[in-house]
């Protein structure tokens, strides 16, 4: 067994094998075969909002109001009028729905990254989480990560996202190690609400491999 030090997100004790969840990059399909790209984007946005509403309902019945408010904010991000309008502009310029929404979302994310206020900079991962959901929906790809193991594992991720952490069940995920993040991010608050021991360890994927005991 190897031991590693890092920044505590949620204190606790977990011992077991590691399962590495690699970040998946979306592979764009040939969306140019679909004529009405605006309709494609509208449908993806609507299905994403419906998925987030289900998270809101679950959080309202099982957890505190803070988590509910996190996903209520995600709904607003997905359908932000300025974001959608910018994506429409890119569609008019000849981009497909995926390209248009991705470009518009990245512009918003870059604006938040440039802010000096920590609160707003920490919201970048929320915007990525919310807008990535739409990009997956455009391609008709499942966004949720549903992990189920015969025995619970410690999950290693590049960066904790609120939707990801919310989907982790403690009977399957006994702990989380993330390479990037902050104690003040919303994903950390969700890990704390679920009482899942969690740590930030920079460059963790270079140190820890699948099935390592930690």
At the topology level of CATH, where does 31-138 sit?
A: Enzyme I; Chain A, domain 2 (1.10.274)
The tens digit of pLDDT for each residue in 1-32 reads 667 889 999 999 999 999 999 765 555 555 55
Instruction: Give bridge partners of residue 180 from the DSSP assignment.
Output: 159
CATH class as words, domain 7-24+144-207: alpha beta
Q: Which residues, 6+ apart, have CB-to-CB distance to 190 below 8 Å?
A: 67, 70, 162, 165, 166
Task: Report H helices in 11-167.
Answer: 37-62, 65-78, 81-92, 97-113, 118-121, 124-138, 162-167
Report pLDDT for 60: 81
Report pLDDT for 9: 94
Report pLDDT for 27: 54
Do 91 and 79 contact (CB within 8 A), yes or no?
no
Q: Name residues of the chain where pLDDT drops below 70.
A: 1-2, 23-34, 116, 121
Report pLDDT for 65: 85
Do 76 and 48 contact (CB within 8 A), yes or no?
no
Strands 173-180, 198-200: pairing kind: parallel
Number of neighbours of residue 191 by Cβ within 10 angstroms: 27
Sorted by where each begins, the domain ranges of the chain are: 7-24+144-207, 31-138
Report pLDDT for 103: 97
């Amino acid at each position: 067994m190897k031991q590693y030090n890092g920044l505590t997100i949620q204190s606790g004790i977990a011992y077991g094998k590691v399962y590495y969840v690699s970040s998946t990059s979306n592979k764009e399909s040939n969306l140019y075969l679909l004529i009405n790209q605006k309709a494609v984007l509208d449908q993806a946005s609507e299905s994403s909002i419906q998925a987030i509403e289900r998270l809101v309902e679950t959080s309202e019945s099982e957890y505190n109001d803070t988590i509910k408010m996190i996903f209520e904010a995600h709904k607003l991000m997905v359908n932000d009028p300025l974001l959608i309008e910018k994506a429409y502009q890119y569609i008019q310029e000849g981009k497909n729905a995926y390209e248009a929404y991705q470009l518009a979302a990245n512009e918003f994310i870059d604006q938040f990254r440039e802010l000096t206020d920590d609160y707003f900079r920490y919201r970048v991962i929320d915007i990525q989480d919310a807008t990535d959901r739409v990009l997956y929906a455009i391609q008709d790809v499942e966004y949720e990560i549903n992990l189920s193991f015969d025995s619970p594992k410690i999950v290693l991720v590049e960066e904790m996202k609120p939707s990801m952490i919310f989907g982790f069940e403690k009977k399957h995920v006994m702990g989380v190690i993330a390479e990037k993040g902050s104690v003040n991010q919303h994903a950390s608050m969700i890990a704390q609400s679920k009482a899942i021991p969690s740590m930030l360890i920079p460059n963790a994927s270079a140190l820890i491999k699948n099935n390592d005991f930690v």
